[in-house]
A and B are shown apart, each in its own frame.
Chain A
Amino acid sequence: MTAPTQTRQMAYIAGQASDARVNVELETEGMTLNIGPQHPATHGTLRIIVRLDGERVISAEPVMGYMHRGYEKLTEVRTYPQVTTLINRIDWLGSFANEVPFILAAERLMEIEAPPRAQWIRTALFELSRIANVVLFLGDMGVQLGAITPVFYAFRDREFVLNQIEAVTGGRFHPNFDRIGGLKDDLPKGWVDETRGALGRIRSFCDEMENLVSGNEIFQARTRSIGVIPADMGLAYGLSGANIRASGVDWDLRRDGGVGLVHDQLDWKVWTHPDGDSFARYWVRLQEVREACGMVEQILDGIPSGPVMAKVPRIFKVPAGEAYVETENPLGIMGYYVVSKGDLVPYRVKIRSASFNNVSITPWVLRGVYVPDVISILASLYFILGDIDR
């Protein structure tokens, strides 16, 4: 896996040398460009300081923290059930998925387990929030490359999934539905059939994206072999999720993690792509949406009956101890390290969110590319600002 890295670095050095010669001859100066904090492409407040030579990036440095909301500290003064309402807001496009690892960590500390029905519904909502999240990425990728139409299709079809999430949880974006020991409520009547319809819409949306975007020659020219991340480099920077699977690493915590969701009882496939470029990241996510649709359909067929909540008191103290649980969230690996001192509130919660690591590779991957590719690479890395800064 070292070969592409070396070739790339050699090309980079050669490019630098030729640029330096031109600079000496023409006495050109570099230009510092601030992309962000307010910029149409960052959909949030990420600031990237790029040094430019013409349109070529000499160095890029992401500056994080413009959206820091202090959730790790805030959790220390909130009881365990109250924490979910905060962590909902970390990755605001796939909110329910944020709650799951924290709840699992708390359940591990309390040594209780949610009833099977709760786990199945939990998994269904987990995958639905993945669909709601990644569908928007598929449209947004087009927008960042200048095609304005796909994002409207994405918003249109995401609505069907959000409606289903809302029907169960009461919240479109911030469900706050997961409880320690189960779920707040059971499924509403008729939900299973309606969800099948929504998944049909998402499947046809995926086909539409394939027709409209994936095969487009300009899209291919803009994404193929752009922003190549070799597997070793991606692993070194701690990339996770579809970003690392697009580099050919067959690693998915839903299959390999073995935490309390029911993915191991479903029939599905982990998609990888050998290229590691922007197109691969896009393509892997597109396949994962389809895979998630298939998973939810299997869950709809197989939800066991029974209670959705274990016996947990209203007010409880969590036994002293430490637990770390990570799950494969829409953006990548999300983990919560919860330390309890036997109190009503956690002593310390460390949140490992995917986007922070995914963005950390930008200085390396943006070196030597052109300004338009900065945007397409950032779009393909797919970060949520709330997920970077927490």
Chain B
Amino acid sequence: MNTVVTAVELAYWQQTAIRSVAALVAVLIPAGTLVYLYLFKMMSFMQSRLGPMEAGPYGSLQLLAEVGKFLQKEDLIPRAADRVVFKAAPFVVLVSTFLLVLVLPAGPDLWFINVDTGVFLALAVSSISVIGILMAGWGSASKYSLLGGLRAAGQLVAYELPLVLAVIGVVIQAGTLNMQEIVLAQANGEIFGWGAIGNPFVITQFLGFAIFLVAVQAELTQPPFDMPVAESEIVAGYLTEYSGMRFLLFFIAEFATAGIFAALAATLFLGGWYVPGLDPASDLFNLIGPLVLLTKIVLVSFLIFWFRFTYPRFREDQLQQLAWKVLIPLALANIVVTGVLKVVF
């Protein structure tokens, strides 16, 4: 939140404090929204039940109750576990989440860092979580955890590639890696000369958007790609031995990352904080930008969670086949077509 109040000079520690709080808000608000809206309520309605109804009106305080429950639980560490690795793993995963949120702009002047390699940075730091998951799988000293950790590593490595390749189409169209400028390119762009709604890249990059969503689903280890935590096969995968606060950290990281990947999809393909019909340079977006972005996050993650609650899961070899034989060739074809069209028009 760099230049929210440009008239006021802030000391370094004040800026840091504001940024820290803003980062917490940016991570926790989408995570909480998604958990309540989708995991608690939408899932329940899809399964013909009501979900939490007791804590607060319509169960809206259930999240606090859950957090309270997890905080009270004992921090169990298996005797055979590699204690340092076991303890550090959830924090490594969470760090990846917090690093991801940095590059996301929420308004013309609302951003944590505005770097020219924003997309590159986002996709790079998103793979740090693999290390945390491998640490959890190895450090738990449990066979189920080990299987889960290795499955997760194989899966995340395989789906990193389609994720990156799907974004390249957007980068070609926008001509920049800077997230803020990608949003502006969509706000100011026009589709073959028609610029009434700008040029949200989802229209021209629909293939990229689809591949991106599938890859995100796999990156988040959500069904149909949830083999690393498949409860009917390997109990809970790398989460098997975790309890209490450390499990909560994994849980927050999972849903915060879901929210942030949805935000990434919204920024890259749906125009980010911009809504058509307004001047993208106006200060109004510093106010409504975060809300617009949150709305788009909720819309995109509706798709993510819809798949999650509907589909059965793949087997690992089928998942790898999907990545290497379908998604990556499609993404490469998309890049070629985008590049040709970019040059022609």
Q: Which residues of A contact B (CB under 8 A)?
A: 31, 33, 39-41, 55, 142-149, 152-153, 156, 212-213, 216, 218-219, 221-222, 370-375, 379
Contacts and interface: CB of A to CB of B under 8 A. Distances in A.
A216 B311 contact: yes
A150 to B, nearest CB: 9
B190 interface: no
B315 A372 contact: yes
B143 interface: yes
B53 to A, nearest CB: 16
A146 B167 CA distance: 29
A147 B232 contact: no
What 9 A-B pairs have minimum CB-CB distances, sorted nearest first?
A: A146-B313, A152-B47, A145-B312, A147-B312, A41-B232, A146-B312, A372-B315, A144-B232, A375-B233
A140 to B, nearest CB: 10
A146 B226 contact: yes
Given A146-B223, A216-B311, A372 B48 contact: no
A156 B44 CA distance: 13
Contacts of A222: 312-315, 318
B329 to A, nearest CB: 19
Contacts of A55: 147, 151, 316
A370 B315 CA distance: 8
Contacts of A373: 315
B316 to A, nearest CB: 7
Contact of A372 (B46, B144, B223, B233): B233
Contacts of B318: 221-222
B224 interface: yes
A371 B47 contact: no
Interface of B: 43, 46-49, 143-144, 147, 151, 223-224, 226-227, 230-235, 309-318
A372 B230 contact: yes
B147 A219 contact: no
B314 to A, nearest CB: 6
B226 to A, nearest CB: 6
Contacts of B314: 218, 221-222
A152 B47 CA distance: 6
Contacts of B235: 39-40
A225 to B, nearest CB: 13
A146 B310 contact: no
B223 to A, nearest CB: 5
B115 to A, nearest CB: 39
A218 B227 CA distance: 13
A371 B143 contact: no
Contacts of B46: 149
Given A149-B46, A152-B48, A33 B143 contact: yes
B312 A218 contact: yes
B223 A153 contact: no
B39 to A, nearest CB: 11
Nearest to B151: A55
Given A33-B143, A41-B232, A372-B230, A218 B48 contact: no
A372 B229 CA distance: 12
B51 to A, nearest CB: 12
Nearest to A39: B235
B233 A41 contact: yes
A222 B223 CA distance: 14
A205 B315 CA distance: 27
B143 A31 contact: yes
Given A40-B235, A146-B311, A222-B313, 17 more contacts: A40-B231, A55-B316, A142-B312, A145-B313, A146-B232, A147-B223, A147-B313, A148-B223, A149-B310, A152-B47, A221-B315, A222-B318, A370-B316, A371-B147, A372-B315, A375-B233, A379-B232
Given A218-B313, A218-B314, A153 B232 contact: no
B230 A146 contact: yes
A156 B49 CA distance: 9
A269 to B, nearest CB: 29
A372 B309 contact: no
B49 A147 contact: no
